[in-house]
């Protein structure tokens, strides 16, 4: 879904073109004067402008630089008269992307609209949406996941806020992606998927990243900047680890949910966006509310459609399905001829508690594929880890020496890339540094 601004002094023209825009699943706004056009661009996120050359208060061509100054990435199509060929050429030189000559058939307008919106959406997706493959989709056949799949289907058909909860590594982002994708198929007609990790940014940075800022609003603000909220207009904003959002920003997010408006840091005007919001957390929001770290009214606005993901240990029928999916991905990436898992490996996977859930399973299989020299995966790391734990309880094996050797092997296989080694070990880079 995109937002289209039609600028023409003829009301009938604006009405007819708006009807086509809405029928194609986009949002339509209209303006009859150049000044009105600029005011709308200051307060709304617009993807495409159809701009008449002859306006009561200005020449459409002279308006192009002002539009581009406000929205450098916006696409402009000029609406010209039959005897305005030179003007059309000048408009293209000024930055318009195309033009359409009056009188035109509505089917011609529709064709230009669809062609440009497809290009705009593709451009936005390439820039903002994670390119995912077969293993970045929900794989679920277990009974425990049936309520989740039903909830995704319901959420995709409406525009209400969704709160996804579950342990770390259970696949909350994949649920958000599934809602977004099914929403496109059902009614939203496109749009980008923008993820914000509320726990990865400092309190000083997250407001600017989310909402953008105006030039001069703080020391390093050398130019206007669009925030991720504005970039997500027409699509989905996924707020991961929402429990880490600073309390000072929570009223601003609440207003965004309730009114679909926000202000940039240092901004004086409200900006309207069309987004659906999905939030996720692995923490206990109720406890955060009791401690005063999370607003109760924001929780209720986010929790319109709650989805709780079960841990992997409760999804026994899915474990081997997921494992085979990850194996297929990694053996292809590493160009290894691996046929599958041994019976002992399957039994080890089914009996594991998977405290790190799907993320732990994925990282473990990546390690196994790296070290595998034969045709079958034995899940050596998993089975050895089990034996080590038993040995630890009885005080038999020198665990520290084994751990050191294992870390050395992982570092060697990772070409001493500590970030990759930490990921393969299933620990943070800080923890790895401490161990080293």
Beta-bridge partners for 49: 5, 76
122 half-sphere exposure, CB direction, 13 A CA radius: 6
The two three-digit tokens of residue 329, written as one number: 């991905």
- Angle 250-259/203-211 helices, nearest 10 degrees? 20
Pick the CATH number of 3-128 from 3.40.50.720, 3.40.50.2300, 3.40.50.300, 3.20.20.140: 3.40.50.2300
| Residue 425 neighbours by CB under 8 Å, 6+ apart | 367, 407, 410, 432
Q: Is the pTM of this model over 0.75?
A: no
- Whole-angstrom Cα distance, residue 18 to residue 6? 7
- Angle 399-413/357-371 helices, nearest 10 degrees? 70
The phi, psi pair for 380, rounded to 5°, reads: -55, -45
User: SS3 for 311?
Assistant: coil
- Whole-angstrom Cα distance, residue 282 to residue 35? 48
How much is the mean pLDDT over the chain?
A: 84
pLDDT tens, per residue, the chain with 436 residues: 678 999 998 988 999 999 999 988 888 999 999 999 999 998 888 989 999 998 998 888 999 999 988 888 789 999 987 666 677 778 887 888 888 888 888 888 888 888 888 777 766 655 444 434 444 568 888 899 999 999 999 999 888 999 999 999 999 999 999 999 888 655 555 678 899 888 777 777 888 889 988 888 887 777 888 888 988 888 899 999 999 999 999 999 999 999 999 999 888 899 999 899 999 999 999 999 999 999 999 999 999 999 999 999 999 989 998 999 899 888 888 888 888 899 888 988 998 999 999 999 998 898 888 888 888 988 876 765 544 344 444 343 465 666 677 788 788 877 788 878 877 776 777 778 777 8
The yes or no reply on domain 314-435 and CATH 1.10.8.60 is yes
* Domain boundaries along the sequence of the chain: 3-128, 134-310, 314-435
Over the stretch 174-198, which tens digit does the pLDDT of each residue have? Answer: 999 999 988 865 555 567 889 988 8
What does the pLDDT read at residue 82? 64
- Whole-angstrom Cα distance, residue 162 to residue 257? 11
Would you say 384 and 345 are in contact if contact means Cβ atoms under 8 Å apart? no
Beta-bridge partners for 306: 163
Would you say 78 and 36 are in contact if contact means Cβ atoms under 8 Å apart? no
- In the CATH scheme, what is the homologous superfamily, with its name and number, of domain 134-310? P-loop containing nucleotide triphosphate hydrolases (3.40.50.300)
First to last CA, the chain: 50
- Whole-angstrom Cα distance, residue 88 to residue 81? 9
What does the pLDDT read at residue 398? 62
Count Cβ atoms below 10 Å from residue 302 Cβ, excluding itself: 26
The phi, psi pair for 30, rounded to 5°, reads: -130, 155
User: SS3 for 221?
Assistant: coil
Would you say 235 and 176 are in contact if contact means Cβ atoms under 8 Å apart? no
The two three-digit tokens of residue 110, written as one number: 């529709």
Pinpoint the alpha helices (H) of 158-291. Answer: 172-183, 203-211, 228-231, 250-259, 285-291
Pinpoint the alpha helices (H) of 142-278. Answer: 146-156, 172-183, 203-211, 228-231, 250-259
- Whole-angstrom Cα distance, residue 70 to residue 105? 31
Would you say 24 and 106 are in contact if contact means Cβ atoms under 8 Å apart? no
Nearest Cα neighbor of 159 from 180, 130, 128 is: 180
Please give the angle made by the CA atoms of 38, 39 and 44, to the nearest 5 degrees: 100
- Would 3-128 and 134-310 be classified into the same CATH topology? yes
């Amino acid at each position: 879904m995109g937002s289209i601004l039609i600028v023409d002094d003829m009301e009938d023209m604006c009405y007819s073109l708006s009807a086509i825009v809405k029928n194609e699943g986009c949002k339509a706004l209209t303006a009859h004067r150049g000044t009105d056009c600029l005011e709308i661009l200051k307060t709304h996120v617009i993807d495409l402008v159809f701009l008449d050359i002859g306006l009561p208060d200005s020449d459409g061509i002279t308006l192009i630089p002002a539009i581009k100054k406000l929205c450098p990435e916006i696409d402009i199509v000029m609406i010209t008269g039959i005897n305005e060929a030179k003007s059309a050429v000048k408009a293209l030189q000024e930055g318009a992307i195309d033009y359409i000559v009056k009188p035109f058939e509505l089917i011609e307008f529709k064709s230009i609209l669809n062609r440009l919106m497809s290009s705009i959406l593709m451009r936005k997706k390439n820039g903002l949406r994670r390119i995912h493959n077969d293993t970045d989709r929900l794989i679920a056949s277990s009974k425990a996941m049936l309520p989740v799949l039903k909830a995704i289907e319901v959420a995709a058909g409406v525009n209400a806020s969704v709160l996804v909860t579950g342990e770390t590594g259970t696949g909350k982002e994949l649920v958000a992606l599934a809602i977004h994708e099914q929403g496109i198929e059902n009614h939203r007609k496109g749009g980008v998927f923008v993820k914000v990790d509320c726990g990865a940014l400092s309190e000083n940075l997250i407001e600017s990243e989310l909402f953008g800022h105006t030039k001069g609003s703080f020391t390093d603000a050398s130019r206007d900047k669009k925030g991720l909220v504005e970039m997500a207009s027409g699509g989905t904003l996924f707020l991961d680890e929402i429990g880490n959002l600073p309390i000072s920003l929570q009223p601003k997010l609440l207003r965004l949910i309730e009114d679909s408006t926000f202000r940039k840091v240092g901004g004086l005007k409200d900006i309207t966006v069309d987004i659906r919001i999905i939030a996720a957390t692995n923490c206990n929001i109720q406890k955060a509310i009791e401690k005063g770290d999370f607003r109760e009214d924001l929780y209720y606005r986010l929790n319109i459609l709650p989805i709780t993901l079960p841990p992997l240990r409760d999804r026994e029928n899915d474990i081997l399905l997921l494992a085979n999916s990850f194996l297929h991905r990694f053996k292809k990436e590493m160009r290894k001829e691996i046929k599958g898992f041994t019976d002992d490996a399957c039994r080890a996977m089914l009996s594991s508690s998977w405290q790190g859930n799907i993320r732990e399973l994925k990282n473990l299989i990546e390690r196994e594929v790296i070290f595998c020299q034969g045709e079958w995966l034995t899940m050596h790391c998993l089975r050895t880890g089990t034996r080590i734990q038993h040995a630890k309880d009885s005080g038999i094996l020198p665990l520290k020496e084994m751990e050191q050797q294992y870390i050395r092997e992982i570092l060697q296989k990772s070409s001493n890339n500590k970030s990759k080694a930490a990921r393969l070990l299933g620990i943070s880079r800080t923890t790895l540094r401490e161990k080293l």
